[in-house]
Amino acid sequence: MFLHTHPYKPFIYKEATKLIVGTLPPPRFTTKHLREKDVDFCYGSSDGQLWPILNRIFKLDLKFENTERAINQRKDFLKSRKIGICDIVASAERAKIDASDIGMQNIKLRNIIKYVEKYKNVDTLIFTGGNSKNGPEYFFRKHIKEHNLKLSVISNNVPRIHSFELKDRIIKTVSLTAPSGAANRAVGSLKSYKLLKNKNPKFNTIDFRVMQYANFF
């Protein structure tokens, strides 16, 4: 079994109002066998789509390379938008060394509620995936039960929006379509995507995510 531990501490600071919540980066980030175009930071996989999407939305001119400059670009952007990152999985075991969420076993979660309690400006959690097994929302639903909390539905349309009450605060959660190639089939099956694709045959799954993510970042 490969012990897949999260290589990064949560990127949180007192001004943050939003937290991006995912699972784990690919195993090569744990073993530090990075590719030339990987960025040694959260969501830095050269296969991932989160930073390319944000790059398009905000016209950031990000570098996609294994350099300190690329890391600092991302940190500077997050701070400018008061966004933090706190993935929910601390570690998992894998029989097969790959990046699939479904392949995770013996999973240990981070205490997201503890972080939200500590950083009192946080009012939104942005899940990079939904409630399918081993997705961020799926784990968060298990996590909040341990704290005797529950999600209330705001919108059941994609992306699903919920809220929960934490002491005297209302925290919103948004479950975005995952920024990964594996989720492209799910995007292609959405009625909203098909309508846009019919209007513009050049419209693709990245374009769809850019439209979706822009509303929440």
What is the chain's pLDDT, residue by residue, as a tens digit (217 residues)? 999 999 999 999 999 999 999 999 999 999 999 999 999 999 999 999 999 999 999 999 999 999 999 999 999 999 999 999 999 999 999 999 998 889 999 999 999 999 999 999 999 999 999 899 999 999 999 999 999 999 999 999 889 999 999 999 999 999 999 998 878 888 888 888 999 999 999 999 999 999 999 999 9
| pLDDT score at 190 | 85
- Sorted by sequence, the CB contacts under 8 Å of residue 20 that are 6+ apart come out as 42, 43, 50, 83, 84, 85, 86, 126, 128
Global pTM reads: 0.95
Ramachandran area for residue 185 (φ above 0: left; ψ -120 to 50: alpha; else beta): alpha
Q: What is the pLDDT of residue 183?
A: 82
pLDDT at 185: 82
Given this model, what pLDDT does residue 182 score? 79
Identify the CA nearest to 162 among candidates 193, 195, 126.
Answer: 126
- Would you state the torsion angle of the CA atoms of residues 4, 52, 215, 169, taken in this order, to the nearest 10 degrees? 30
pLDDT the model gives residue 184: 85
